[in-house]
Structure 1
Amino acid sequence: MTLNFSSNQLENPQPLRLHWVSVAFFGIIHGLALLSPWFFSWGAVGVTVLLHWLFGSIGVCLGYHRLLSHRSFKVPKFLEYAIAILGALSIQGGPIFWVAGHRLHHAYTEDEEKDPYSARKGFWWSHMLWIFYPRSDFFDYDCYQRFAPDLARDPFYVWLNRYFLLLQIPVALLLYALGGWSFVIYGVFLRSVILWHTTWLINSVTHMWGYRTFESDDNSRNLWWAAILTYGEGWHNNHHAYPHVARCGWRWWEIDITWWMIKLLTIVGLAKNVNLPPSGYL
């Protein structure tokens, strides 16, 4: 899917104001995650790893990013919705919010006003401060939904975008039933913090360090350790050069775990119209 945005769709720059509700929300969850040493169990660690992969690789990387943002492949609608729910469970915003912001990132990469998390404004801005100093263009539904019109027309995505936070309640109740507070601390709070920061690394470090295979019109980089932590998203220069390709790791050593799942869905007949790299690159 190709979407072109005109400059006048974005409002004039606004003065930055710290959003204390966001500071409190992320601060409390980070604080609760720090309780994890007192609730340690190997089962809880396993839950953290499993949910980091399920909500991160499948929900965010495969779902929010490669499927919904770029439409680099297609799956049946029931499966698309299920994957989107996994993305919503990552607590990275609803699907319309996430997709709109990412499409703007590609349309205006590193522009200090039009890219929500422009790396030109420094590491901490692109990593997390953009969330604490929100602009209405990127955070008010009536503004950002214009940049994901395909999702905004779908009642399911409108509902999920509004109520995604409530999905943490059944997850927390299930984890408590399975392993008590240990599973809740690790499976909700510690998992969320680790997944946030690994995802945010793509906004920050992969626009600063690493190698460039393609001379794209930005400073995107391929960074091996970021790719490991983000299930293949760290091959960011490849992605910016060919954003609608479903595979981010192109060379044999560029491990792309999310691509492995897309390939599996293709083998079993659930993924179709998969966009591949141009011939000669693999």
Structure 2
Amino acid sequence: MAFLNNVLEPPAYGWTDKNGDLAKPTKKQLFNEFFSRLNVFKDKKNWLSFMSWMMIVVLAPTLLIFIFKYFSIKLLIVAFVYSMIIMGTHGTIWHHRYCTHGAYKFSNGFWRFITQNLTLKIIPEEIYAVSHHVHHALSDKPGDPYNASGGFLYCFLADVNHQPIARDLNEKDYNRCVRLMQHTGVKTNTYTQYQKWGTLANPFYALTGVALNWGFWFLTCYLIGGFGLGCAIFGAAGFWAVGVRTFNYEGHGKGEDKRRDGIDFNREDMSVNQVWPGIVAGEWHNNHHLYPNSARSGFKPWQVDGAWYYIKFMSFIGGVSSYRDNKAEFYADYYEPHKASKTTSLHEGVIAFEALEKDLLPKAV
């Protein structure tokens, strides 16, 4: 816990207030922090956050070109499916269940590379994975990088304001960060390079990886459906990249307790299962917080889990060598006891009603 408490770069307004509670910055403080951390002229260590948002800026014109020049119902459907389902599900498969939680293992580097590049590279693995370990350790507590109690902007701007790794890690803690990422295949800096660039990711390899990935996918789209398809796909990817930054605010009840009996079994934090993220991305968030290392989070029959289907398919063809599936534990530890308690309560209620009826009947006569 000591390591995870200090692994992220604290914002200027801090994680806690003078009373030890969550520091809730004003909008002005949030935006000041955001633009300060994007300023690569002020500090080149801001390069990764700058790159992450600059990719969205670069993608924005493709969305506008699609809308105003190449728009059609067919391309709109393609863009919708790519943005809502393909990008979302891939984020769950790659960034969430693999990079962060290691819920499954690839048979070799080839299948890992294929899975990593199934869609456009937009979110740097480092920004997502390291901070997500902190999120689970401090969920809905001060220090949680996207604590919903901080408000919408606190979560929406978190990838810049709260999620980058600390820039003053000692060599031991930096190497611990490297070990958190080593299974992903991301090329990391040496400690000396980290002191210069402030990140795990090596800027040369990171930028080269994005350029090659984008070049491959735009060429593929162009060969299949021309410039219009390329703009539709790239614009949709940019749209998703903005939308996904809203998820954790919604996924933790907007800072309120919106958990439902019989649906959200985890009571350690405010995470909730949501139908839309579940269907389009396999992100049944409350289930995930129950079993974060499970390759499946759609435990109930109606909980569609596209990410899990991909992992199972990869296992079937030999691309995945092993995975963890906690469905049986979920039913044994949570669902069946809940179901039994409800049956017992109903039975006791019937008995109580019958007793009351017998007590009142003679008086009525």
TM-score, structure 2 as length reference: 0.63
Find the counterpart in structure 1 of residue 232 from structure 2.
186
Choose which of 31, 48, 54 in structure 1 pairs with 2:79: 48
Find the counterpart in structure 1 of residue 266 from structure 2.
215
Quick one: which amino acid aligns to residue 3 of structure 2?
A: F
Quick one: which amino acid aligns to residue 113 of structure 2?
A: Y
Partners of 1:132 and 1:72 lie apart in 2 by: 26
Partners of 1:162 and 1:117 lie apart in 2 by: 26
Q: Is the 8 A contact 2:9 2:167 kept in 1?
A: no
Q: 1:249 to 1:153 in 2, by over 3 A?
A: closer
Q: Is the 8 A contact 2:62 2:234 kept in 1?
A: no
Partners of 2:153 and 2:273 lie apart in 1 by: 20
Find the counterpart in structure 2 of residue 116 from structure 1.
145
Find the counterpart in structure 1 of residue 282 from structure 2.
232
Give the C-alpha shift of residue 222 in structure 1.
Answer: 0.5
Q: 1:146 to 1:241 in 2, by over 3 A?
A: same
Partners of 1:241 and 1:222 lie apart in 2 by: 11
Matches within 5 A, 1:24-173: 26-27=56-57, 29-30=59-60, 32-38=62-68, 39-42=70-73, 44-45=75-76, 47-49=78-80, 51-52=82-83, 53-57=85-89, 59-77=90-108, 78-86=110-118, 89-93=120-124, 95-112=125-142, 114-126=143-155, 128-131=156-159, 133=161, 136-137=164-165, 146-152=176-182, 156-158=186-188, 161-166=206-211, 167-173=213-219
Quick one: which amino acid aligns to residue 326 of structure 2?
A: P
RMSD: 3.4
Unaligned 5+ segments in structure 2 are: 14-32, 40-49, 189-201, 332-365
Give the C-alpha shift of residue 118 in structure 1.
Answer: 2.1
Quick one: which amino acid aligns to residue 202 of structure 1?
A: F
Q: Percentage identity across aligned positions?
A: 24
Deviations 1:148-179 (A, max 9, x none): 52424876544654534212123223323433
TM-score, structure 1 as length reference: 0.79
Unaligned 5+ segments in structure 1 are: none
Q: Is the 8 A contact 2:8 2:131 kept in 1?
A: no
Q: Which entry has the higher C-alpha Rg, 1 or 2?
A: 2
Partners of 2:144 and 2:184 lie apart in 1 by: 25
Q: What is the DSSP-based 3-state SS (H/G/I as helix, E as strand, rest coil) of the residue aligned with 1:273?
A: strand
Q: Is the 8 A contact 2:63 2:231 kept in 1?
A: yes
Partners of 1:75 and 1:25 lie apart in 2 by: 28
Deviations 1:78-101 (A, max 9, x none): 2112212236x24112x2332222
Give the C-alpha shift of residue 278 in structure 1.
Answer: 5.7
Q: Is the 8 A contact 2:105 2:321 kept in 1?
A: yes
Give the C-alpha shift of residue 221 in structure 1.
Answer: 0.3
